[in-house]
């Protein structure tokens, strides 16, 4: 692997010989409606916890993803917290999730007083390895009246949370089959995969619940925001109730709350941005797919590195482009990161795997050798849609 060759190939795709290039930044320059909608909020005073843009954003998300229901909330982490609670995750349960994910996945399980249980990924999908998960559960877990129980810890295993890494869909058919076989509800962490499809269905709509994120660095952004997706009208209703402080007085003026709810609602101001972004989502995805195609071409034939490309069953959103170093170059990853950042290409490594973080070091886990290998040699390349 020649570091200068990698830098030249990246610069070639960006068509910018020397400027600073961030990893991913929001871009409202082609979006005059964003200003118009925000202005409407300010002009009418509907800036906060109620307003028409919230309903409209939810409808647009439901329509786009094909999910019968979408409930918007203050961020993706909050969405995941409530989705896990609605899937039945409770105090002392374990939640299966990839060790290769952003920390929010594990944090959300902890907010339910549950224990993350880390499983390995496979290299083709960068997501949970369904075949190895099934073998592992055969060995580790027992189906009892109480549900699936971890024989080693005695705790109930309450759910599986697959995550679509950088917008690349996992093998959902295979994961659904594992869930069915072991009686596990699936909650999809689709925070990174708005605009990504598995076969002909949008990611985040396969599980009992799924979640999206509209954080500042994601495919579309509302400043901060998230959504819960579900096909179940009762779960959607409860999601709305729980995320809006569980208010249920007979009269609108009454402060009666029937359970401990959360103040997780998305302000109308943010939803206004969401509506404007949804209008441009197809164009954003198109731009991102073009950038990915250019990276794939530019890196073809460069020794020692591979640019990840979507699998046959997937239509990716290419949220962040993924450069994978061959295993024999893993020890030069940091050298490459230093050189690229010095060259003003603000590239980043993939996350530290969850089991290497101090608060999750003692959590149960299977063999994580693929996670550990990928964590040592994956780099994200600049992927903002305006780079097209
Ligand atoms: C961004 C992200 C989240 C959390 O979303 P926020 O809106 O930032 O709270 C959760 N999971 C994954 C995998 C993410 O990338």
Q: Give the atom of ligand 1 at the shortest distance from the alpha carbon of 218.
A: 1
Distance 213 CA to ligand 1 centre (A): 6
At 113-125, the pLDDT tens digits run: 999 999 999 999 9
Query: CB of 26 closer than 6 A to ligand 1?
Result: no
Place of tokens 């409407």: 40
Q: Is 188 in the pocket of ligand 1 (CB under 6 A)?
A: no
Distance 151 CA to ligand 1 centre (A): 31
- Centre of ligand 1 to C-alpha 193, Å, is 10
Q: Is 215 in the pocket of ligand 1 (CB under 6 A)?
A: yes
Per-residue pLDDT at 256 = 94
Residues 233-237: contacts with CB under 8 Å, at least 24 apart: 233/68, 233/69, 235/69, 235/86, 235/208, 235/209, 236/68, 236/69, 236/71
Task: State both tokens at 358.
Answer: 């101090």
Q: Which helix (H) or strand (E) holds 359?
A: none
pLDDT of residue 250: 87
Cβ neighbors of 293 (< 8 A, separation 6 or more) are: none
With a 6 A CB cut-off, is 193 part of the ligand 1 pocket? no
Residue with CA closest to ligand 1 atom 5: 76
pLDDT digits (tens, 9 = 90+) for 234-279: 999 999 999 999 999 888 899 999 999 999 999 999 999 999 999 9
Please work out whether the CB of residue 189 comes within 6 Å of at least one atom of ligand 1: yes
Does the Cβ of 191 fall within 6 Å of ligand 1?
yes
Verify whether ligand 1 is closer than 6 Å to residue 182 (CB atom): no
Strands (E), 39-93: 69-73
At residue 145, the pLDDT reads: 87
User: Does residue 371 have its Cβ closer than 6 Å to ligand 1?
Assistant: no
- Report pLDDT for 239: 98
Cα 214 to ligand 1 centroid, rounded to whole Å? 8
Report the helix count and the strand count for the chain, using DSSP H and E. 12, 16
Closest CA to 96 of 189, 232, 231: 189
Report residues of the chain scoring pLDDT below 50: none
Measured from the CB, is residue 76 less than 6 Å from ligand 1? yes
Q: What is the pTM of this model?
A: 0.97
> Dihedral of CA 179/208/77/217: which sign?
positive
Q: Which two tokens stand for residue 64?
A: 């786009």
Nearest atom in ligand 1 to the alpha carbon of residue 224 is 7
pLDDT of residue 15: 83
């Amino acid at each position: 692997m020649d570091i200068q060759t990698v830098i030249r190939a990246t610069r070639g795709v960006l068509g910018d010989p020397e400027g600073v290039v961030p990893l991913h930044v929001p871009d409202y320059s082609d979006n005059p409606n964003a200003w118009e909608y925000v202005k409407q909020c300010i002009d009418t005073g509907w800036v906060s916890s109620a307003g028409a843009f919230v309903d409209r954003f939810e409808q647009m998300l439901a329509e786009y993803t094909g999910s019968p229901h979408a409930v918007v909330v203050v961020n993706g982490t909050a969405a995941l917290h409530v989705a896990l609670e609605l899937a039945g995750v409770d105090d002392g349960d374990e939640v299966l999730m990839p060790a290769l994910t952003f920390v929010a996945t594990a944090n959300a399980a902890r907010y339910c007083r549950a224990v993350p249980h880390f499983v390995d990924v496979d290299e083709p999908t960068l997501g949970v390895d369904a075949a190895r998960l099934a073998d592992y559960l055969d060995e580790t877990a027992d189906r009892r009246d109480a549900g699936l129980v971890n024989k080693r810890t005695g705790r109930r295993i309450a759910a599986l949370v697959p995550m679509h890494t950088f917008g690349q869909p996992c093998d959902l058919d295979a994961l659904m089959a594992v869930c069915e076989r072991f009686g596990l509800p699936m909650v999809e962490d689709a925070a990174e995969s708005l605009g990504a499809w598995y076969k002909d269905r949008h990611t985040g709509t396969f599980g009992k619940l799924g979640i999206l994120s509209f954080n500042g660095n994601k495919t579309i952004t509302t400043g901060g925001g998230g959504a819960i997706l579900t096909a179940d009208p009762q779960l959607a209703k409860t999601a709305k109730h729980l995320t809006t402080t569980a208010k249920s007085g007979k009269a609108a003026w009454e402060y009666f709350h029937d359970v401990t709810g959360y103040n997780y609602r998305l302000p109308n101001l943010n939803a206004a941005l969401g509506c404007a972004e949804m209008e441009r989502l197809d164009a954003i995805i198109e731009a991102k797919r073009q950038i990915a195609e250019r990276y794939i071409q530019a890196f073809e034939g460069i020794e020692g590195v591979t640019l990840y490309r979507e699998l046959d069953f997937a239509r990716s959103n290419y949220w962040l482009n993924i450069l994978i170093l061959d295993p024999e170059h893993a020890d030069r990853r940091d050298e490459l990161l230093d050189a690229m950042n010095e060259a003003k290409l603000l590239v980043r490594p993939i996350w530290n795997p969850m089991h290497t973080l101090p608060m999750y070091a003692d959590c149960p886990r299977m063999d994580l050798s693929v996670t550990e290998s990928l964590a040592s040699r994956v780099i994200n390349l600049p992927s903002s849609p305006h780079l097209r």
